A and B are shown apart, each in its own frame.
Chain A
Amino acid sequence: MSDRLIFRFDVEGDDFTSAGQASVQVKKNLRQLGIDSETIRRVSIAMYEGEINMVIHAGGGVAEVAVCEDYIEIVLEDTGPGIKDIEQAMQAGYSTASDTVRSLGFGAGMGLPNMKKNSDSMTIDSTPGVGTRIVMKIMYGGKANEGV
């Protein structure tokens, strides 16, 4: 399979009523393609957290999911405020979410740790004032990383 199947979504910022819809659509598409359920589960978790982060922290962005021969690649790109201290952001429980956002059930500070845990590789490129680009790879039949 030399050509990769790519799904692309515009994710709207600060829209809490439709937040997560791109992830729900990806899950549906992967099911139709007959991808195994454990892989779909890991993609769903990783992508949902990334999508929600673009909604609540970055004013929206673009999500791209590529179905490749050995893995699924998720690319999340936004032109939001960026992440100053990535190591700190990766810590379980760390969150800058507002009280309003928290009252909806977001802002547990577990998003980036969940993304890391459910992907086989994850890279974050972020420049304050410019934006953030996150690439995650999820191998078919792979195993979630232990711990958070």
Chain B
Amino acid sequence: MTVERFANEFGFDILCMPAPEKEISGAYIGDLLSWVMGKAEQSNVWLTIMSNINTVAVATLADTSCILLCEGVRADGELLRTASEKGVNILSTDLTSFEAAVKIKDAVR
């Protein structure tokens, strides 16, 4: 499933989507950047409440398909500008990371 379809199917807010065609496979939940770097797999949806600029580099290097900001966490303009430039998709939801994970579990497998 592409990130664009994923966002639409689950009604997640699209904060920026420079690469809508990226394919999704699996997911990883984490807010500590070294854990995400070490454990997230290519094409994962990355569920997190961390929304500072450093997430863009981590998403780029770990090759995640998109960042899904949970718990209603928002991203500021600078983050979204950088993410757009670097081709990093960012979605958001008011759900908790757990609720979001349960909701998407069958679709991202």
Contacts and interface: CB of A to CB of B under 8 A. Distances in A.
Interface of A: 16-17, 19-21, 23-24, 27, 37, 41, 44-45, 48-49, 52, 104-111, 113-114, 117-118
Given A24-B57, A48-B61, A105-B54, A41 B42 contact: yes
Given A105-B32, A105-B33, A108-B33, A20 B58 contact: yes
B38 interface: yes
Given A21-B57, A23-B61, A24-B60, A48 B37 contact: yes
A97 B60 CA distance: 24
A44 B54 contact: no
Interface string B15-46: 00000000000000001111101100010000
A4 B35 CA distance: 32
A19 B58 CA distance: 10
Contacts of B60: 24, 27
Contacts of B58: 20, 48
Identify the 8 closest CB pairs spanning chains A and B, nearest first. Answer: A20-B57, A110-B34, A108-B32, A108-B34, A44-B61, A105-B33, A114-B38, A105-B50
Interface centre among B31, B58, B62, B86 (most CB of A within 10 A): B58
Contacts, number: 65
A106 B31 CA distance: 9
11 contacts: A20-B54, A20-B57, A20-B58, A20-B61, A44-B61, A45-B37, A104-B33, A105-B33, A105-B50, A106-B33, A109-B34
A52 B53 CA distance: 13
Contact of B34 (A16, A21, A41, A49): A49
B55 interface: yes
A21 B57 CA distance: 7
Given A48-B37, A49-B34, A114-B37, A106 B54 contact: yes
B63 interface: yes
